[in-house]
Amino acid sequence: MTRVAGYVLAGGESRRFGRDKARAVVDGKPLLLHAADLITEALGRAPVVVARRAGEYEDLGLVTIADETAGRGPLGGLARALAHAGDEHDAVLLSPCDWFGGEASWLRGLVDAWREGDGAVAYREGHWEPLPAVYGTGLLPRVETALESGDLSLAGLLTAVGARELPRPEDWGRATRIDRMSDLPD
């Protein structure tokens, strides 16, 4: 049985949003909790949050670890998640805190498609959807090398490792990334 750990990325600076978007309330709860709830439903256990500081979101009931490569974008957060998952897990299910309207079944589909030996599994339709996706813990050395070289593209990593491609769910378009205050649903 594949052992997959769940992680939510919440280490960005939210510059375009103007404040901590992980705490922006949508449908009565912070965006971060929406993301965490999807992973909990998909995996049957709560995710760990990768943030700027350890403990940053523990007031929301979420274990929070510090991104050790702050300022390196999602690839830095992936490195921290892979290192934290260590040998106890085969892969990590990685999701951003600012992705709203997705389904736990979409995340479960990624997890179910992942097989030992896969570098990663992600949705692709014309272009990669690098978040959410499943990344094998064996990728850590490759991710660290990419960070050292300044190649911070998750899509580039997915291509380089020959990630398993899944077609996006038919209703994928109803999910949205929240980058600016104007992106918040009414």
Q: How many Cα atoms sit within 13 Å of 75 on the Cβ side? A: 20
Give mean pLDDT, residues 143-148.
94
Q: What was the pLDDT predicted at 63?
A: 95
At residue 14, the pLDDT reads: 55
Q: Would you state the pLDDT for residue 1?
A: 46
- Is the pLDDT at 69 greater than 50? The verdict is yes
The mean per-residue pLDDT over the stretch 120-134 comes to: 95
**Domains of the chain, earliest start first:** 4-169 (3.90.550.10)
Q: Residue 186: its pLDDT value, please?
A: 64
* Candidate from 17-21, 55-59, 88-92, 175-179 with smallest mean pLDDT: 17-21
Query: Which helix or strand (DSSP H or E) is residue 29 part of?
Result: strand 29-30
Distance of CA 3 to the CA centre of its chain: 16
Q: What local confidence, expressed as pLDDT, does residue 20 receive?
A: 72
| 127: pLDDT strictly greater than 60 | yes
Residue 81's pLDDT is what?
97
- Residue 109, both tokens: 């589909």
- Over residues 148-171, the mean pLDDT reads 94
* CA 150-154-157 angle, 5° bins: 80
pLDDT at 16 > cutoff 70: no
What is the rounded average pLDDT for all residues in the chain?
Answer: 89
- Alpha-carbon distance of 176 to 114, in angstroms, equals 24
Decide: 108 and 57 in contact? Cβ < 8 Å.
Answer: no
Q: Which residue has the higher pLDDT, 164 or 185?
A: 164
Give which of 4, 5, 16 is closest to 177, Cα–Cα: 16
Q: CA 130, 94, 56 angle in degrees (round to 5)?
A: 125
Q: Among the listed ranges 27-31, 44-48, 120-124, which one has the minimum average pLDDT value?
A: 27-31
125 contacts: CB under 8 Å, gap ≥ 6: 167, 168, 172
pLDDT value for 161: 95
Q: Answer yes or no: are the C-beta atoms of 134 and 4 closer than 8 Å.
A: yes
Whole-model pTM: value is 0.92
Q: pLDDT-derived band of residue 2, with 50, 70 and 90 as boundaries?
A: low
pLDDT at position 184 is 63
